[in-house]
Structure 1
Amino acid sequence: MKRMQQAGLSYIELHGNHYGPGLGYKAGEVSRLLTSYGLQVSGVCGMFSNDNDLSSNRAIHRQAALDYIKRELEFCAEIGANYLLVVPSSVGRPQKYDDTEFERSVETLQLAGEWFEQYGIKGAIEPIRSAEVSLVRTIKDAQKYIEAVNMPGINWINGDVYHMQSEERHIGEAILAAGEQLINLHLADSNRSTLGDGSLDVDTIIMCLHMLGFSDQDKFASFEPLGPGGAPYPAMYGKPDAAFLDRIVNDSVRYFREREAVIRQSWA
């Protein structure tokens, strides 16, 4: 959090690491650190694997997904988060189980629908590229899924430009198509590295975010330079390199603000 504060950021998205009743961040300690560094939590990035797959053909894994969501919602409420990111299927399993996994995922998430309203947390569905998931790969897919779930507390989208460049015809158009449902956008360059290190049209993305009113407090953009590769989850367990993390945070913030300033000037 100190790194985020020093970079001039106000919000942080946290890893949803409550994989069991005794695991994960402790709300009291997190709240103390947030106060100490003057930060707020935008939301929590839910992590869905084969072990807690909403679409699984094994009931024990779907129940694990529900238990996991309940724990994360409790944590979100305690630390003042706005949203919980939900992936409709397992990340890292691109092959479908069968032809009814969409319906299973919808029915399972519906069981958690009232919890989102109870805790005052927005459920945000994230589309992920087809190399990593079997369900919900585009903004349009996410909107179809949200419509099928049909629960007021699960009506938002978490976009990710890295996945969007693989699945969407035009990232800017997809952002605008998400419209008011887009609550957060994960940002990384075309090589899943720091903004400015690849070929992504960052200017168009920033313009689209401003067109959707992303200067409001309840809309967020989160830097997520996870690095190249088809399976980012293992990176969670790597040893942190402080100097590298300092660089990617500072470079991401600097480049985004530089491009945003250019766009604001062109609109003046």
Structure 2
Amino acid sequence: MTSYASDENYEGHGGREGKELDGKVALVTGGSRGIGAAIALRLARAGADVAVTYANGEKAASEVVRAVETLGRRAVALRADSADAEEAAGAVARTAEALGGLDVLVNNAGVGVLGPVESLPLSEVDRVLAVNVRGVFLASQAAAARMAAGGRIITIGTCMTQRVPGGGGTLYAMSKSALVGLTKALARELGGRGITVNIVHPGPTDTDMNPADGPFAAGQVALTALGRFGTVEEVAATVAHLAGAAYVTGAEFSVDGGHAA
């Protein structure tokens, strides 16, 4: 299990960033572990105060908060289930109340359900769409109502929106593909207010849920051009760049080792 007790593990990935996010407040949904936790730490190292949400895993979320605080930034962990409409939107208001506003929203929370399309029960279809689509829409809607010029909305998609190499991924790919349309439409709608909206598509990434030495890793590695899993820090680096980028919007970014090549 990855430890977030300090930022030592983040050195060697470009060193300590400048403080381009000083005075900014970021919310990372699903930020208690994996890619979300790495994003929270990376944004804090760039100067942001950070809120993270979690549905389960309060202890892990608390570890991320402590790690952010060791960097001299404020942090808060908020229990919020993205499948619950009220909680998904409410996390934005709670972040603003706790940290004094909201400048960066990272829609990272998501669930992956794989299996033959004919065997997927309606309950799983509803759950995946509630978390991966409705929850992202509601959080983005709430953020758009609060953000001023310079606001950033960044959503975590998947390489499966661009290439689905086998069966079993229909529901997951469908749910994440919806976020591409949301990103482009929101970018148009909010661009006049100086708010950017982008989406990042990770490929196979080494996490507790999908370890690089796991039973399904070899097949995933074979689909990449680089022949390896990515790291959570590599995904977080792209998110951090977008959090500071003023002239990039409506764009898709692949951090997938060439999975879509």
TM-score when normalising by structure 2 = 0.42
User: RCO (CA 8 Å, sep 6+): is it higher in 1 or 2?
Assistant: 2
TM-score when normalising by structure 1 = 0.41
